[in-house]
Chain A
């Protein structure tokens, strides 16, 4: 079975400091990492291949230096890496990203399953997986927490919902997007790391994959960011002082006086 795993480079957002005067985020020495959700996608792709045989390919659209990150995936069992890199792709929204990736996938060809992360940590839209499936004209299932069965013909998987999960069956080729619960990614093996070092990443341009430049990048993006700002949590915090008994009593009083009716809330199912 041939599996393509879509991987995005994102800035690590752990350390965020704010510049109070300018209301902007101060970021220094931003580290580029593989989108955390995509590490589960990689692991799942590798696990399926280990069971069914075949090949795993990672595919990313990004700047040239993403190639270094893609190499790392070869240390955890991925066979090949493809990077779509071209200024034509820059400024893409989720629709233009879906289009470019779908052209990349068609270029790679001969695929059975495409695995994406649930969402990227920067754009955070979770729209690329479904968007890309539609561009390829194949079915998709989002938020997959478990693959129950996969064979040449179909995949049966569990899609996480707000109150449980759905069991979905669809024919291959298909796209799935995976949540963190699906697996525990392995650490790179020594042999893998050696392999990764020697690996060559295939870099393709818009022309190489036959992408229509009108549908790529800013040109192909119906949405536009017009303004950004740092959210302010301007809450009036009130600390409740006193001995523990007093604190509990005061807090309960405050909540009850806010018409926070304890019997009412049980009706919400």
Chain B
């Protein structure tokens, strides 16, 4: 059985390991480190010890597969009304690089109804082959039918890597598939690379609400599956002349589904959704009053962006939960993010730190938000915002 222990003779009592354990499971007793019973065997501390005093015995993972039988990089192309979602292009962008490094083909898997047109776009954005499964019943995303079809395709073709978006649907579909075929799945990746020595997929992701980054591998199981954060990977320039193959495989389209999608409701009142927006203007408690959120909407409108909010304002009932950005809200990564009267708590930053440009307006020069800001303005939001709106209207 796996175990961890401190080699007393090697431990010099430097305490480095104590700080590295995210679960508080290491304590110093008589100047030596001691592992407590709340250790989860996560292995994070092992590297922190510069004296090789932490003896971590891993178990060999059971039920390994013959990984040489698996070939090809797959991405799941999410679509709505036959139009690929932007995450699909981002997955093709990173998938292309992985496939090139592995000298293998990049496949896009698209499931839906009336998706013929989408296949051309997926090829233009980097796919070598598109596997499409088209049927009237697949019009809306359904966990059950999409999983059944996807698993049939995997069993037939044995891909080595499958990437899905870390979207509402992707984060439901991916674990259902991984659990059915018993393979590893890394969540919410922000970086994906091939280890050029052994061809393994190195999957890096934030955990602990963005406080810690972890690189994860899936050494003995295939396919290696990952969901990928929206707006982190770059899409390629589309090339209409790229050639690719469209495959319509023979699969059983499941009927008599247990899960029924009764309706798909869009509640976005603005023209732009938070996760898709290139510009987000967010307000925090520093806006002072729900009425002042009109300034936020106005700036968002002028810039063609979406409105975001901190949890404090959502909890106070100033604005709906669907606008909340952060660890317990939405993760966003626009080109420009305005944080207006937001202090910059770690839970808020976890949801927006991958934005290209961050602008912070706060009256407190020591507010933590300035640490992640590209541009900062120390001042009163109620004064600055109307002036900014005026400036952008001029432009």
Contact = CB atoms under 8 A, between A and B. Distances in A.
A268 B277 contact: yes
Nearest to A249: B391
A269 to B, nearest CB: 6
Contact of B267 (A135, A142, A163, A171): A163
Contact-residue bracket for chain A: 35 or more
A65 to B, nearest CB: 7
Interface string B28-48: 000000000111111110011
B357 A255 contact: yes
A202 B101 CA distance: 51
A25 B22 contact: yes
Interface string A143-162: 10000000000001011111
A218 B58 contact: yes
A220 B220 CA distance: 11
B259 A222 contact: no
Given A139-B258, A166-B261, A262 B303 contact: yes
Of the candidates B59, B180, B274, B330, the one having the most CB atoms from chain A within 10 angstroms of its own CB is B59
B211 A22 contact: no
A126 interface: yes
B321 A141 contact: no
A130 B395 contact: no
Of the candidates B143, B258, B268, the one having the most CB atoms from chain A within 10 angstroms of its own CB is B143
A239 B378 contact: yes
Given A16-B346, A88-B1, A139-B143, A162 B24 contact: no
A106 interface: no
Interface in B334-377: 335-336, 346, 349, 353, 357-359, 370-377
Contacts of A258: 357
B377 A247 contact: yes
A247 B2 contact: no
A84 to B, nearest CB: 14
Contacts of A228: 20, 44, 47, 212-215
A95 interface: yes
Nearest to A145: B321
B387 A26 contact: no
Contacts of B388: 248, 251-252
Nearest to A16: B211
B152 interface: no
A239 B370 contact: yes
Nearest to B173: A130
A263 B393 CA distance: 11
A214 B19 contact: no
Nearest to B171: A126
Given A32-B38, A214-B63, A228-B212, A233 B371 contact: yes
Nearest to B172: A142
Contacts of B213: 228-231
B260 A91 contact: no
Nearest to B263: A167
Interface of B: 1-2, 16, 19-24, 37-44, 47-48, 58-63, 140-141, 143-144, 167-169, 171-172, 174-176, 178-180, 182-188, 202, 206-221, 258-268, 271-279, 302-305, 321-322, 327-328, 330, 335-336, 346, 349, 353, 357-359, 370-380, 383-384, 387-388, 390-392, 395
26 contacts: A19-B19, A27-B19, A63-B38, A65-B38, A91-B40, A94-B185, A121-B327, A124-B208, A127-B174, A127-B175, A127-B187, A131-B176, A162-B330, A167-B263, A168-B259, A215-B63, A217-B1, A221-B61, A222-B184, A223-B216, A224-B216, A227-B47, A228-B47, A247-B384, A252-B395, A262-B302
Closest 5 pairs between A and B when the two form their complex, measured CB to CB: A222-B184, A30-B24, A266-B304, A91-B41, A248-B387
